[in-house]
Structure 1
Amino acid sequence: MRLDHRKINADLKQPSYPLHIFDTVTSTNQVVWDLLAGGNPFPVIVIASQQTAGRGQWGRTWVSSPGGLYLSIGLNINLEAKNAPHLTLLSAWGIAQSLRRYRLPVQLKWPNDLILEGRKLGGIKSETRIHNKMITHSVIGVGINWSNQVPDPGIPLQSYPNPHDIDSLETLSAITINGVFEGYESYLKEGIENLMRNYIDILDSVGRKVMIEGITGTIIGVSTQGELKVSLQSPGSKTTLKLPPGSLSLGYPQGESTP
C-alpha cells in the first residue's frame, strides 16, 4: 500500500519538500538520479514500499521486501571529493539522533548501519557525482526495517518490544528525512570534527577487542574519513591503525549482516 504523503508532511520540519512516492521501484537511488536528470529541483525525495534492485555497499544488489522503508534524498552540494565519506557519516548520525528522540535506543555500527538491541535496523548508502574534484550532487539512500521480513541479525521495528513513539511507516519516513537534513545542517554549521564526536558517542563498538594480523587491538573510534581507528599495543610500543570501510567485518552477535 502506497504511503500517505499528507501524513509524512505533517511530521516534516520543512513540509514543502517535494515527495515522490512509489509502490515498487528498482532502486530509490536510481529514481532520484533519473528525476534529477529530468530537471527536478533539489532536494529530490523518493520513497518506495519495495525495491527490486536495491543498492548496498561494495556493489551488492538485493530485493527489499514489502513493509520496509526505502528512501533516497538527492542533494545539491559543494564538497571536495575526498570528503565523500562525510555524507554517510552525517546521515547516519542525523537519522540515529532523530530516532532516539522517539524512545528508540539506536546506535551506529561501522561503517553504515543503524542498530537496535545489537541487531541491524537499517543501513545507509551514499552516491555522488564529481566534477573537477568536487562533489556537485549526492544521493543519500536509506533502508530501515519496519514490518518487512528480515533474516538474522536484522530486526523490524514493529517487533521491537519496548515502548516507543513511532506509530506508522509515514512517521518513520518523516523522522528519517528530518534526520538526514539535521545531520547535514549540523555538518555545515559545526564541521566534521564536532559531528564525529557526536557520532562516536553512539557508536556500538568503542572499546571492543579485535584481532589485526595476530595482534589484539581495541576500537577507539572512527576518523573523519570514515576509517575505523584501532589502538594496537605490543611490548614496548603502541600505535593507532586507521582501517578503511570494507577492510574489517565487525559482524553481529547473531551472525553476519549484508551491509
Structure 2
Amino acid sequence: MSIQSTPLTAAAVRPLLRGRFGEPYLWSESCSSTQDVLRGSDLPEGAVAVTEHQTGGRGREGRRWDDSPGRSLLVSLLLRPPPGAAAEQLSLVAGLCVAESVEEDRDAASIKWPNDVLVSGRKVAGVLIEASEGAVVCGIGVNVLQTEAELPAQTRLPAASLLTASGRALDRATLLASLLEILEHRYDAWRRSGLAPLLDELEARNVLRGRDVRVAGEAGTAGSIAPDGRLTLRRPDGSTTLVGSGEVELGGP
C-alpha cells in the first residue's frame, strides 16, 4: 500500500529552513519540470522550486525521470556561481550533499560519478546541472516513499527508494530542509576553494573506484576523482586518462 505524505508546501517547509536557501520557495502540485520553473528567471540565488509530480521530468542526456506523485523530493535550486567557476563540478557537490542528507541511521550512501547517489548498490537519487548566462539550475530527484511496485523497472541502474532501502518512511519536509542546509554549507565551501575541501569525502563515497567501466568511448578501471572533478581511468595498457563527462557503464573492456 502506498504511504500518504504531506505535500511540501511553503507552510510545511519554511518553518524548518535554517539558512538562505529556500527563498523564494515556489511549490506546485504538478509541473513539467522544476528545472523549467527556474531557468532564465531573474530570481535571487537560493530560490527553490518544488513539486509533487513532474509531467516531463528529465535526467542527464535527455533521459526521462519518472516519479510517483507525492513520493519523492523533486527540487531545483538556483545558483549564481562566480564568473569562470567550473559549474559542472556542482553535480558532485550536490551528489555529496544528497548522500549526507539521506544516510543518517541508514546504510552509507555512495556516489556513482558524476551524478547518481546509491544506497546498497541501488540508485535512490540523481542530479541534473543546467547552466546558462551565469546561472546554474541544480535539479535533484530523490526517491523517498515509493514501494517496490512504484519504482521504475527498466533502468540502467537498479532503482530503490529510501523506504525500500531502509524500511523507514521518512518525512519529506524534514529531509528537504536538511538537504538545503547541507547544500548551502557545501556550496559556500566550493565557492571559496573549489572541490579541494570536499575531495576526501567524495573519494570515500566513490563507488566506481577499482571497478571495470566503459565511459566516453574509453574502457578501463575507474580510479579516484581528480581535483577538478574528472574521473581517473586506467586503460588496459596501463596508461591513465581523465574523463570529464559521459555515461558510465559497468563492465569490462
Cα distance change of structure 1 residues 41 and 219 upon mapping to structure 2, 3 Å threshold: closer
**CA RMSD, Structure 1 to Structure 2 (Å):** 2.7
Which 4+ runs in 1 deviate beyond 6 A? none
Cα distance, 1:97 vs structure 2: 2.1
Alignment partner of 1:20 is 2:26: yes
TM-score normalized by the length of structure 2 = 0.81
User: Structure 1 residues 168 and 231, CA, compared in 2 at 3 Å: closer, same or farther?
Assistant: same
Distance 1:21 1:216, change over 3 A: closer
* Cα distance in 1 for residues equivalent to 2:212 and 2:221: 5
Going from structure 1 to structure 2, the CA distance change for 1:189 and 1:103 (only over 3 Å counts) comes to farther
Contact 2:212-2:220 within 8 A present in 1 as well: yes
Asked if structure 1 preserves the Cα contact closer than 8 Å seen for 2:77 and 2:139, the reply is yes
Distance 1:97 1:186, change over 3 A: farther
Paired positions, count: 236
Shift of 1:33: 2.0
What does 1:1-259 correspond to in 2, within 5 Å?
2-14=7-19, 17-33=23-39, 36-37=41-42, 40-66=43-69, 67-80=71-84, 83-101=86-104, 103-130=106-133, 136-148=134-146, 149-152=150-153, 153-161=158-166, 167-210=170-213, 217-232=220-235, 234=237, 238-246=238-246, 248-250=248-250
SS class of match (2:151): coil
* Paired letter, 1:139: V
Superposition deviation, residue 229 in structure 1: 1.0
Q: 1:199 to 1:47 in 2, by over 3 A?
A: same
| 1:27 to partner: Cα distance | 0.5
Name the SS of the counterpart of 2:36 in structure 1: helix
Aligned residue number for residue 255 of structure 1: none
Aligned residue identity for 2:151? V
The alpha-carbon deviation at position 146 of structure 1 amounts to 1.3
| Cα pair distance change 1:200/1:114, threshold 3 Å | same
Structure 2, unaligned runs of 5 or more: 1-5
The Cα shift of 1:218 comes to 2.6
Output the TM-score relative to the length of structure 1.
0.80
Q: Deviations over 1:210-248 (max 9, x none)?
A: 468xx97332112344432112354xxx32122232254
- Unaligned regions of 5+ residues in structure 1, if any? 131-135, 252-259
Q: Which moved more, 1:41-50 or 1:147-156?
A: 147-156
**Kept after mapping to 2: 8 A contact 1:86/1:224:** no
Deviation, 1:204, is 1.0
